[in-house]
Structure 1
Amino acid sequence: MKTLVATFLIAACAGCAGVTGQNDAQSDGSAGPTRKSADCAHASSPPEVDTLYGRWQVRIDGQPDATAELGPHPEYGGVRGRLTRPSGVAQLAGDVDDEGTLALDESEDGRTISATWTLTVQPDSCGKEFKGTWQHAGDEAKRPAVITLISRAPG
């Protein structure tokens, strides 16, 4: 009889755990809030620079969408890469400070800074989204900017 009761309790607990796990999944297949929080336990600390290596979707207010590819900077502890727009390609270089702010310099000619970026990692994004501003050199206006990770660099 004790074995039957124990078996019933184990089955009931397993069933409850399965139902909870199903509730964590969203209709789009992504993890729900409980799972996301557990997966992003490190989200309260600034992202490591190597988590920036990869391909990013870039949206700047009033401009066509673009794509950025970031990798390690060969001379400094930051990132270097390129920004591909419909109008051409620019070079990017920058780093993340202790508060999680990503600062990027953009150069259209490879010699002078043509724009600057100041972006902050978004809470609960697991380091996959940064929001902030983009400012073209010589222009006082700062435009809202968002970069969202498309895929991490292999390795």
Structure 2
Amino acid sequence: MRHVVFAALLACALPAGAQQDCPHASEVKQSHVVGLWRAEFDGQGHAGTLLLEKHATYSESFSGAINRSGEHRLLAGDVEDGEFTLEESADGQRIAATWLGEVVEGSCGREIRGTWTAEADAKNPRKFVLRKQ
């Protein structure tokens, strides 16, 4: 019994910064987006795995890569006021697709929903969901 009471007291004594923060969608920043994500397209299930990291040049942006079915593509983007923008490139020079979405409110920055559009097939955008792993 004393162990339970001690654990409860210890949990209450933790500083506020030590607790998990859950930002509103509009407060999500690059630091919340950095990490491993699972991408799904409507009706297709798993569409790839994204690794997003701090951008080497732009302090508020991120870059990374997506692996889907053995194909590797480069990514660069940002998130501002809950709006997520990501550009996908096969060669690091030309944009092959864009991901435009919004951080889902209440997801603590761990879910983004939007539309993926391939440059070669701009008339057929696909809905996506990104979930942080």
TM-score range, shorter chain: 0.7 to 0.9
**Residue of 80, 83, 100 corresponding to 1:118:** 100
2:10 paired residue number: none
Give unpaired runs (5+ residues) of structure 2.
Answer: 1-19
Task: Please identify the structure whose Cα radius of gyration is greater.
Answer: 1
Residue 94, structure 1, aligned to residue 43, structure 2: no
Moved over 3 A (4+): 61-64
The one-letter code sitting in structure 1 at the alignment partner of 2:35 is G
Give, as a single letter, the amino acid of the residue that structure 1 aligns with 2:26: S
Q: Which residue of 1 aligns with 2:68?
A: 85
1:46 pairs with 2:31: no
Match of 1:31 in 2: none
Contact 2:100 2:116 (8 Å CA) reproduced? yes
Of Structure 1 and Structure 2, the greater strand share is in: 2
Q: Identity across aligned pairs (percent)?
A: 36
Richer in helix (by share)? 1
Partner in structure 1 of residue 41 of structure 2? 60
**SS of corresponding position for 2:132:** strand
Q: Measure the CA separation in 2 of the matches of 1:113 and 1:102.
A: 16
Higher relative contact order (CA 8 A, sep 6+): 2
Rounded to whole Å, the distance in 2 between the matches of 1:110 and 1:62 is 29
1:16 corresponds in structure 2 to: none
CA contact (8 A) 2:25 2:108 kept: no
CA RMSD of aligned residues (A): 2.1
- Give the letter aligned to residue 93 of structure 1: A
Letter in 1 for 2:96: S
Shift of 1:104: 0.3
Q: TM-score, normalised by structure 1?
A: 0.66
* Match runs of 1:1-155 below 5 Å: 40=22, 42-61=23-42, 64-76=46-58, 77-97=60-80, 99-139=81-121, 140-150=123-133
